[in-house]
Amino acid sequence: MEIDQSTWNELRCSVIKDNLLSLNFLDRYFWKAVIFDDNALDFSMLEQALLKLDVAEYYCVPVVDLKMSSVEARILKIVVGSKDWQKFMEFDENDFSANLEDCVFFSSPLKFLVLRTGFVEHTIYAGTDEFLLPATSVDLGEERVIAIGEHWPKSSVFDYYDPMHLTLGKA
């Protein structure tokens, strides 16, 4: 894969327990975050946002594979506009079956990150306003983190992001 070592090292530090993005990681990039209470991932909106960032290709890796080297990890390369993302949705227990795993979508170099839980818990979009608005249709304004939805099985989302003044929004 064409992922530079710096990007891989940053990714390895990005996800923490309970499938949350590290506050240190978000702060290092001066990024904001939108958290949905399900595994909402609209590839059409995502790819429109990536075009605005001049991202021609992006990647998906299962969270468990972040413990490996980038050579060993199961990384799916997705070319914007190609419908390669459909491979992500296919289930094959002998191949890449990330639709059932916790995954991270990202570019190399890092211009955005989406953390999607395999089972319906939450999806976190992280990046600049330039990415977040077209990818999520959520205008954060001055907010750093906003949670959208009504079903939050784990309070850890609210507890962890409270220092960033997490706001609860409406879907």
State how far the Cα of 127 lies from the Cα of 45, in Å rounded to an integer.
14
State how far the Cα of 97 lies from the Cα of 64, in Å rounded to an integer.
13
Contact yes or no for 60/105 (Cβ under 8 A): yes
User: What's the total number of domains in the chain?
Assistant: 1
- Which range of residues forms the domain containing residue 65? 5-169
Contact yes or no for 50/58 (Cβ under 8 A): yes
State the pLDDT at residue 2: 74
Q: Give me the residue label for tokens 């390895």.
A: 12
Amino acid at 82: S
How many Cα atoms are found within 13 Å in the side-chain-facing hemisphere of 76?
22
Q: Please give the chain's pLDDT, 171 residues, in tens.
A: 578 899 999 999 999 988 899 999 999 999 999 998 876 678 889 999 999 999 999 999 999 999 999 889 988 888 888 776 666 665 455 554 545 678 999 999 999 999 988 776 889 999 999 999 999 999 999 999 998 888 776 778 888 888 888 888 765
State the pLDDT at residue 91: 47
State the pLDDT at residue 49: 95
Q: Give me the residue label for tokens 């594979």.
A: 65
State the pLDDT at residue 94: 52
* Close Cβ partners of 10 (under 8 Å, ≥ 6 residues apart): 25, 28, 110
Predicted structure pTM score: 0.89
